[in-house]
Amino acid sequence: TKPGGQYVPSMNTLSQIGVEIPGRKPGDPVMTPAEYSRANTIYFERCAGCHGVLRKGATGKALTPDITRELGYEYLHDFINYGSPAGMPNWGTSGELTEEEVDMMARYLLLDPAQPPEWGMPEMRASWKVILPPEERPTEKMNDIDIDNLFSVTLRDAGQVALIDGNTYEIRAVIDTGYAVHISRLSASGRYLFTIGRDAKVTMIDLWMDPPATVAEIKIGTEARSVETSKMEGWEDKYAIAGAYWPPQWVIMDGETLEPLKIKSTRGMIYDEQTYHPEPRVASIVASHYRPEFIVNVKETGKTLMIDYTDLKNLKITEIETERFLHDGGFDSSGRYFLVAANARGKIAVIDTKEDKLVTLVETGGQTPHPGRGANFVHPVYGPVWATSHLGDETVALIGTDPEGHPENVWKVVQTLYAMGGGSLFVKTHPESHHLYVDAPLNPDPEISGSVAAFRIEDMTQEEPEYTVLPIAEWAGIAEGQPRVVQGEFNREGTEIWFSVWNSSDKESAIVVVDDKTLELKHVIKDPRLITPTGKFNVYNTRNDVY
Ligand code: DHE
């Protein structure tokens, strides 16, 4: 059982609930049921995110037996062990999997995948808990926290979030969430914080309580990555939505209690080939500021759904053909255009959330764009731009986003920056900032994965601007392990940026705070409770889509 409840069905569970256990074929590798079950758990925890539960591939390659048997055991073993510069982690040499586990996973991949069970309304309702009903909650803020400058920090392997005061760097609360919690989002009012675990558990935290605490929770599937809340004027705090990887579906919930109201499957046709896909996973979700709609990105079918939440009985969904495989994205600085990575095709899809239409697809020129929510700033030559880095190489693409003021640059890559190396996940800036920051946590070189590149926006008049390397892991002063530095997040004022120094769960991790103006170290947050910090979400910036 994992913290936050069991979400990985064991072979026993699968057979008890009548799921077919993959049969043995001639030439199958020998695996004991115990090994298969352990390999299954590792697969769902570590691999399914990129390769898919049914192993049909997305961010990672397809791994169905027709392919894996062609590749063979040795190839699979070495790939798992050493990783690849294109983004496959070096599970073996990093020490995250033992030699025995690498061998077991290589054998496991030669077998047919197991299919986990469905998760509909009865399962959701059974998992739904209102810990403190709305009428028993405080009617005003009961604590002295400056909520706008509070950071919700993912403690990945602890299945918790730490709420850290952005003014004092003090941990104000550590709250249990789902397993390997993925992101935090805020209600429009800023009062409620929602987290989603990889085990698809949504946790709703009331930031007015002293200390802030969980008021409701629900499991919306067995694997998930995204949660969001209604932001349109008149609909603030009314609904929450969460998207699942497994089963492939999304659910709209009551914004005060998490009561599940409407579930819809995303299974269906791929936008271009119009062939059926059994596992189109829900990737990023954002809330429109122009319409009472959620913007839901379905990875494998390459569709962006504009879900009108004004009438859940007579539901209207505008289905936009975008591109495969949709992953993460964010708004431009005006909040009108949503830019989402179609990472299998090296493209960014631009969606006009006012007109509910695809504007265009922009080829980034790099391998596997991975923007997080991206970064918006005013370029000294090209005007307003939005940036993405890439998982597969060192490039950062700057895309013009101003149709009115700079029509000649709009939806084009106006400049390519060259950062430290491949393995980048997130870029970040802030309207008040002087810099664009680019991480590279998945780079195999520890010096690169432990640092961040800071480009001065002023210097972008040069064709190939230089960057300053910030040795964040070194600044953290951590003696043991090989920590990766990941995901910058600004404070409310936009004067300092926080980076996670993400070590393994048995070793010390930290958060390093950098002064944006001077690029100097400002503070190191260390605490035994800070286990595997990754994502950080400043309440004000997250609530208002400032990035
Ligand atoms: Fe993430 C965002 C999926 C691995 C940290 N990640 C997202 C989003 C998706 C996603 C769909 C967008 C959510 C949204 O905006 O609604 N992430 C996946 C995966 O499928 C993947 C590749 C593999 C997996 O098995 O989960 C994956 N992600 C990771 C990590 O290993 C990271 C680095 C560490 C961790 O905490 O697990 C990680 N993902 C993040 C973060 C964000 C995120 C910090 C939000 C960034 C932001 O600034 O908005």
**Known active-site residue 269:** no
- In angstroms, the Cα distances linking 169 to 72, 342, 538 are 50, 36, 13
* CB 215 within 8 Å of CB 204: yes
Range in 3-17, 87-101, 142-156, 385-399 the model is least confident about: 3-17
Q: Is 317 left (phi over 0), alpha (psi -120 to 50) or beta?
A: beta
What is the Å distance from ligand 1's center to 370 Cα?
10
| Closest residue CA from atom 32 of ligand 1 | 534
Examine the pLDDT at 29 and tell me if it is beyond 80.
Answer: no
Catalytic residue list contains 105? no
Question: Could you tell me the distance, in angstroms and rounded to a whole number, from the CA of residue 435 to the centre of ligand 1?
Answer: 23
Instruction: Pick the atom of ligand 1 nearest to 181's CA.
Output: 36
pLDDT of residue 370: 97
Given a cut of 70, whether residue 324 has pLDDT beyond it is yes
Q: What's the CA-to-centroid distance between 303 and ligand 1, angstroms?
A: 19
Query: Is 370 designated active site?
Result: yes
Nearest atom (ligand 1) to Cα of 283? 11
Mean pLDDT of 508-537: 98
From the list 77, 277, 289, 327, the catalytic residue is 327
Q: What is the mean pLDDT of the chain?
A: 93
Q: Is the CB of residue 59 below 6 angstroms from any atom belonging to ligand 1?
A: yes
pLDDT cut 70: percent of the chain above it: 95
Nearest to 536 by CA among 88, 240, 213, 149: 149
Q: Strand pairing of 413-418 and 395-400?
A: antiparallel
Per-residue pLDDT band at 30 (split at 50, 70, 90): confident
CA distance 496 to 525: 14
* Of 7 and 460, more confident: 460
Closest ligand 1 atom number to CA of residue 536: 44
Q: How do residues 130-141 score in pLDDT, each as one tens digit? A: 999 999 999 999
Q: Is 47 known to be catalytic?
A: yes
User: What span, in angstroms and rounded, lies between the C-alpha atoms of 387 and 362?
Assistant: 12
For the question of residue 104 being annotated catalytic, the response is no
**Rounded distance between C-alpha atoms, residue 511 and residue 534, angstroms:** 9
What SS3 class is residue 206? strand
SS3 344: coil
Return the residue whose CA atom lies nearest to atom 14 of ligand 1: 284
**Quick check: 526 pLDDT over 80?**
yes
Marked catalytic residue, from 47, 124, 306, 460? 47
pLDDT at 300: 96
* 284 CB within 6 A, ligand 1: yes
The DSSP H or E segment spanning 497 is strand 496-502
Q: How far is the CA of 304 from the centre of ligand 1 (A)?
A: 18
Residue 229 above 90 pLDDT? yes
Report whether pLDDT(20) > 50: no
Q: CB-based contacts of 167: which residues, under 8 Å, 6+ apart?
A: 146, 149
- Residue 396's pLDDT band, with cuts at 50, 70 and 90, is very high
373 ligand 1 Cβ < 6 A: yes
The reported pLDDT for the residue numbered 343 is: 87
Q: Which of 77, 289, 370, 430 is catalytic?
A: 370
Place 428 in a pLDDT band, splitting at 50, 70 and 90: very high
The β-bridge relationship of strands 375-379 and 383-389 is: antiparallel
Interval 201-216: pLDDT, tens: 999 999 999 999 999 9
Tell how far the Cα of 171 is from the centroid of ligand 1, in angstroms. 23
**pLDDT at position 17:** 39
Question: Is residue 6 pLDDT above 50, yes or no?
Answer: no
Strand positions, DSSP E, 309-379: 316-321, 326-331, 337-342, 347-352, 357-363, 375-379
Q: Which of 30-39, 274-283, 372-381, 466-475 has the lowest mean pLDDT?
A: 30-39
- Inter-residue contact 40 to 15 (CB < 8 Å): no
523 is catalytic: no
Given this model, what pLDDT does residue 21 score? 42
Q: Please tell me if the CB atom of residue 535 comes closer than 6 angstroms to any atom of ligand 1.
A: yes
Give the mutation target among 96, 199, 295, 328 for probing the ligand 1 site: most ligand atoms within 8 A of CB: 328
What integer pLDDT is reported at residue 410 of this predicted model?
A: 98
Tell me the mean pLDDT in the region 385-412. Answer: 97
Tokens at 468, concatenated: 């300053």
Asked, as a colleague might, if the bond just before 380 is cis with ω within 30 of 0, I would say: no
pLDDT at residue 262, as a whole number: 98
- More confidently predicted of 534 and 112: 534
Q: What is the mean pLDDT of residues 34-59?
A: 90
Distance between Cα 182 and ligand 1 center (Å): 6
User: Strand pairing of 183-186 and 192-196?
Assistant: antiparallel
Give yes or no for residue 327 CB within 6 A of ligand 1. Answer: yes
Active-site option among 11, 51, 204, 289: 51
Q: Whose CA is nearest to atom 41 of ligand 1?
A: 535
pTM (predicted TM-score): 0.91
Take atom 21 of ligand 1 and give the residue whose Cα is closest.
49
Choose among 160, 12, 268, 126: nearest CA to 535: 160
User: What's the mean pLDDT in 346-369?
Assistant: 97
Cα of 30 vs centre of ligand 1, distance in Å, is 34
CA angle centred on 530, ends 510 and 369, rounded to 5°: 65
Residue 479 or residue 252, greater confidence: 252
The Å distance, Cα 381 to ligand 1 centre, comes to 32
What are the CA-CA distances from residue 524 to residues 332, 469, 496, 540 (Å)? 31, 18, 12, 22
